[in-house]
């Protein structure tokens, strides 16, 4: 396995090693009961580690509070607003904000009109808004957003469930908050906020803050977020929304047509919060509500504090996809409470969150269910790794160097699944009880603070003995590429049954006379299968090189083509679109593919489907292009970006 060390990591490792080589570590070292000692990260190295390559803002002039007054204009697709920023008491004479595609109208420094300048114009980072503000306390920026703002999706009324009102939602992570609020757009700066937002009377406005539950006559809503958050957690949603509470602390907002189904699907949320608190300490954010977005939302979920944003594609009627809620809820600790200092440390957010998600799922639904999720995570990791090791080996380390790159490049199975498996290995090594104690105190110690990998390693050293540290191979896991050989392998008993079914299918000759009696498991078994088992089944057929005949047999019995579950549909079509399978009714198949891609914009679903089509012959590629051209306008700017790249790479 190749191991790539950057200059910085070698420096940090040198520091760590100089302090912890076996010989030099006293057996009864007073500052480490476990015997592993790591020196505190040196101040100058520390400054480098916390330096954010994706923001123009400066360490020496930070904000502490935001007062946002905004008005939302659906016709013009513009938000007009004033962002009033309170500065930290001691700051440099020049204050810098990140802006992208914003029209700055006026700047006030302590209430007085002030000069300002825009510097730089980077396609990825936007520009620096530079304001002379020596000794000032408050900077007010009056501005308008652009109809093309990347963080905003203006969703037309016709495409909503109720078709009555348009919908607007934001997606700030990773560096898009700057396209709707001038801000110090990096995870290392935290601030509290208040907001007043005016929207059309027929709609309700919600933010990542304290929220209303009902519309009012004026269409003006007030918000307060008393816990300090980084800019990527700023969020706004506006639409024709209703609310249903779930227990004491949780609730769901959705279009009236969907809100009951959503409340049923997420009925366990209150219990999840209790389970999570029991493991890793108090939930610090007051309420935990969820907002169901239109199907164009490019993600599964987004952990906006107090108000998780969700895709409607997890509302499938059997609560089988609620690990997504466990995931976004887990971010209330890993991410929102202890935050990656820069996007280079993204695994500190996502790896911990997947780990915590699995623990919540295990607690609530049992170890067998969690094992299936873990096995799927392992498969995702292997699949993505195979491609990444061909294309971009450096991107397979947990610690990333994203300077000059889009932080979205770091959103891969590495941060999520390699991160998860590393933490699972740590747990296996020290034992669950001690590990949980460690994590609980870690969340407490660093609450409302930012975290870099190197500081986490220092903490980790406190819970591992030298021998454990070495047997895990901590440095190789963090800075090395690929997947270390000691990666835990999740075993799922329920998947053993599924894998048998896959084998039965693949070993049969689809043309044989009595083939149907040989390829299916008894219905008593498959009737109990959850989404996870079906995903394993479909992926198993795909990985095993199923022929069109095999797919036809599977579809005839299990009806994948007509499944109401988007997770199953996406896996199914991604598999069969690589073949010439056209189902039992070619027209129906064509229509279903087109209507799915025309109505759902979740990247995880649509990118593999388009990819499968683009891997096919010219005719298939042209079909993909036509569907994309027809559907593009209904996709989120982020999904458009991903797919534009995909199409331009494949079809010059
Ligand atoms: N915070 C992420 C979504 C995200 C990451 C948005 C980076 C923009 C940049 C969210 O918590 C997430 O991980 N969503 C996953 C959920 C899944 C792993 C359960 C998703 O949307 O697929
Ligand atoms: Zn996440």
Ligand nearest to the CA of 334: 2
Best of 177, 299, 373 for a ligand 1 pocket test (most atoms within 8 Å of beta carbon): 299
Could you identify the atom of ligand 1 that is nearest to the CA of residue 638?
A: 8
Burial state string for 316-348 with b = 16 or more CB within 10 A and e = fewer than 16: beebbbbbbbbbbbbbbbbbbbbbbbbbbbbbb
| Active-site pick, 150, 194, 303, 328 | 328
Could you identify the atom of ligand 1 that is nearest to the CA of residue 298?
A: 21
State residue 42's pLDDT score.
Answer: 85
Does residue 446 carry a catalytic annotation?
A: no
Q: What mean pLDDT is predicted for residues 195-207?
A: 98
* CA dihedral sign of residues 46, 420, 124, 10: positive
Q: Residue 34 — very low, low, confident or very high, per pLDDT cuts 50/70/90?
A: low
C-alpha 256 to ligand 2 mean position (Å): 27
Q: Residue 652 — very low, low, confident or very high, per pLDDT cuts 50/70/90?
A: low
CA–CA gap between residue 473 and residue 486 (Å, rounded): 9
Is the confidence at residue 372, as pLDDT, over 90? yes
Is the confidence at residue 443, as pLDDT, over 90? yes
Is the confidence at residue 583, as pLDDT, over 70? yes
State residue 651's pLDDT score.
Answer: 80
**What domains, with CATH codes, occur in the chain?**
7-49 (no CATH), 63-240 (2.60.40.1730), 509-651 (1.25.40.320)
C-alpha 301 to ligand 1 mean position (Å): 6
Among 6-10, 54-58, 284-288, 312-316, name the one with the lowest average pLDDT: 6-10
State residue 139's pLDDT score.
Answer: 98
Q: What are phi and psi of 130, to 5 degrees?
A: -105, 125
C-alpha 411 to ligand 1 mean position (Å): 8
Tens digit of each residue's pLDDT (9 = 90 or more) over 218-269: 999 999 999 999 999 999 999 999 999 999 999 999 999 999 999 999 999 9
Q: Residue 532 — very low, low, confident or very high, per pLDDT cuts 50/70/90?
A: very high
Q: What mean pLDDT is predicted for residues 530-536?
A: 98
CA–CA gap between residue 336 and residue 397 (Å, rounded): 23
Whether 289 and 254 have beta carbons less than 8 Å apart is answered as no
pTM above 0.85, yes or no: yes
Tens digit of each residue's pLDDT (9 = 90 or more) over 594-618: 999 999 999 999 999 999 999 999 9
State residue 35's pLDDT score.
Answer: 64
Pocket of ligand 1 (CB under 6 A): 173-174, 299-303, 324, 327-328, 331, 350, 411, 416, 604
State residue 449's pLDDT score.
Answer: 98
Closest to 318 measured CA to CA, from 599, 565, 497: 565
Smallest CA separation from ligand 1 atom 10, residue: 302
Q: Kindly report the length of the chain.
A: 652
Does residue 328 carry a catalytic annotation?
A: yes
Could you identify the atom of ligand 1 that is nearest to the CA of residue 327?
A: 19
State residue 584's pLDDT score.
Answer: 73
CA–CA gap between residue 369 and residue 125 (Å, rounded): 42
Whether 417 and 380 have beta carbons less than 8 Å apart is answered as yes
Smallest CA separation from ligand 1 atom 14, residue: 301
State residue 37's pLDDT score.
Answer: 75
CA–CA gap between residue 306 and residue 234 (Å, rounded): 11
C-alpha 298 to ligand 1 mean position (Å): 9
Could you identify the atom of ligand 1 that is nearest to the CA of residue 331?
A: 11
What is the percent of the chain where pLDDT is above 90? 91
State residue 325's pLDDT score.
Answer: 98
Ligand nearest to the CA of 298: 1
Average pLDDT, the chain: 94
Ligand nearest to the CA of 232: 1
Is the confidence at residue 27, as pLDDT, over 70? no
CA–CA gap between residue 471 and residue 626 (Å, rounded): 53
Best of 172, 290, 301 for a ligand 1 pocket test (most atoms within 8 Å of beta carbon): 301
Question: Residue 192: which H helix or E strand, with range?
Answer: strand 190-198
Ligand nearest to the CA of 177: 1
Best of 170, 179, 302, 339 for a ligand 1 pocket test (most atoms within 8 Å of beta carbon): 302
Tens digit of each residue's pLDDT (9 = 90 or more) over 73-91: 999 999 999 999 999 999 9
C-alpha 331 to ligand 1 mean position (Å): 10
C-alpha 20 to ligand 2 mean position (Å): 33
Could you identify the atom of ligand 1 that is nearest to the CA of residue 604?
A: 22
Q: Residue 39 — very low, low, confident or very high, per pLDDT cuts 50/70/90?
A: confident
Token pair belonging to 275: 């389970």
CA–CA gap between residue 576 and residue 580 (Å, rounded): 7
Q: Residue 44 — very low, low, confident or very high, per pLDDT cuts 50/70/90?
A: confident
| Active-site pick, 288, 416, 520, 589 | 416
Closest to 484 measured CA to CA, from 400, 414, 410: 414
Neighbours of ion ligand 2 (CB under 5 A): 350, 353
Could you identify the atom of ligand 1 that is nearest to the CA of residue 328?
A: 11
C-alpha 502 to ligand 2 mean position (Å): 31
Tens digit of each residue's pLDDT (9 = 90 or more) over 376-418: 999 999 999 999 999 999 999 999 999 999 999 999 999 999 9
Q: What mean pLDDT is predicted for residues 30-43?
A: 67
């Amino acid at each position: 396995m190749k191991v790539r060390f950057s200059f910085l990591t070698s420096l940090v490792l040198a520091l760590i090693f100089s302090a912890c080589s076996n010989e030099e570590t006293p057996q009864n070292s007073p500052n480490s009961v476990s015997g592993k000692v790591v020196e505190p990260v040196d101040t100058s190295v520390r400054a480098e580690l916390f330096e954010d390559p994706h923001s123009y803002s400066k360490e020496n002039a930070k904000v502490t509070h935001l007062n946002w007054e905004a008005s939302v204009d659906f016709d013009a697709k513009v938000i007009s607003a004033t962002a009033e920023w309170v500065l930290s008491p001691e700051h440099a004479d020049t204050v810098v904000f990140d802006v992208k595609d914003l029209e700055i109208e006026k700047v006030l420094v302590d209430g007085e009109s002030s000069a300002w300048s825009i510097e730089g114009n980077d396609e990825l980072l936007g520009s620096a808004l530079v304001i002379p503000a020596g000794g000032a306390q408050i900077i007010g920026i009056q501005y308008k957003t652009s109809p093309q703002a990347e963080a905003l999706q203006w969703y037309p009324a016709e495409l909503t469930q109720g078709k009555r009102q348009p919908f607007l939602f934001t997606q700030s992570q990773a560096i898009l908050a700057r396209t709707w609020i001038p801000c110090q757009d990096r995870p290392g700066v935290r601030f509290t906020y208040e907001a007043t937002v005016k929207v059309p009377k027929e709609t309700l406005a919600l933010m990542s803050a304290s929220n209303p539950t009902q519309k009012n006559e004026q269409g003006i809503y007030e918000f307060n977020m008393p816990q300090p958050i980084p800019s990527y957690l700023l969020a706004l949603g506006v639409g024709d929304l209703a609310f249903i509470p779930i227990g004491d602390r949780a609730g769901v907002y959705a279009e009236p047509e969907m809100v009951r189904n959503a409340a049923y699907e997420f009925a366990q949320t209150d219990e999840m919060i209790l389970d999570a608190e029991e493991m890793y300490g108090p939930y610090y954010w007051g309420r935990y509500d969820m907002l169901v977005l239109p199907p164009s939302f490019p993600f599964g979920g987004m952990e906006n504090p107090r108000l998780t944003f969700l895709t409607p594609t997890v509302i499938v009627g059997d609560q089988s996809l609620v690990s997504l809620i466990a995931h976004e809820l887990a971010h209330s600790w890993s991410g929102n409470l202890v935050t990656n200092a820069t996007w280079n440390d993204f695994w500190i957010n996502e790896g911990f969150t997947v780990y915590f998600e699995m623990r919540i799922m295990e607690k609530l639904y049992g170890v067998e269910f969690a094992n299936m999720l873990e096995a799927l995570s392992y498969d995702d990791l292997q699949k993505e790794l195979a491609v990444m090791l061909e294309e971009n080996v450096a991107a397979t380390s947990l610690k990333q160097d994203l300077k000059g790159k889009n932080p979205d490049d770091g959103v891969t199975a590495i941060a999520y699944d390699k991160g998860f498996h590393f933490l699972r290995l740590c747990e296996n090594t020290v034992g669950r009880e001690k590990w949980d104690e460690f994590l609980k105190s870690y969340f407490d110690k660093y609450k409302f603070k930012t975290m870099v990998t190197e500081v986490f390693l220092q903490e980790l050293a406190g819970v591992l003995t030298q021998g454990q540290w070495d047997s895990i191979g901590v440095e190789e896991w963090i800075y090395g590429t690929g997947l270390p050989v000691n990666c835990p392998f999740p075993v799922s008993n329920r998947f053993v049954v599924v894998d048998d079914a896959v084998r039965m299918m693949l070993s049969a000759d689809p043309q044989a006379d009595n083939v149907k009696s040989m390829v299916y498991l008894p219905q008593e078994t498959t009737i109990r299968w959850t989404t996870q088992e079906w995903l394993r089944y479909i992926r198993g057929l795909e990985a095993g090189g199923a022929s069109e005949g095999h797919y036809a047999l599977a579809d005839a019995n299990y009806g994948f083509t007509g499944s109401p579950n988007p997770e199953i549909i996406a896996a199914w079509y991604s598999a069969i679109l690589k073949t010439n399978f056209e189902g039992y009714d070619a027209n129906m198949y064509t229509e279903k593919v087109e209507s799915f891609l025309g109505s759902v914009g979740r990247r995880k679903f649509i990118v593999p489907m388009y990819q499968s089509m683009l891997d096919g012959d010219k005719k298939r590629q042209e079909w993909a292009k036509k569907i994309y051209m027809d559907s593009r306008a209904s996709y989120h700017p982020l999904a458009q970006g991903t797919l534009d790249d995909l199409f331009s790479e494949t079809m010059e």
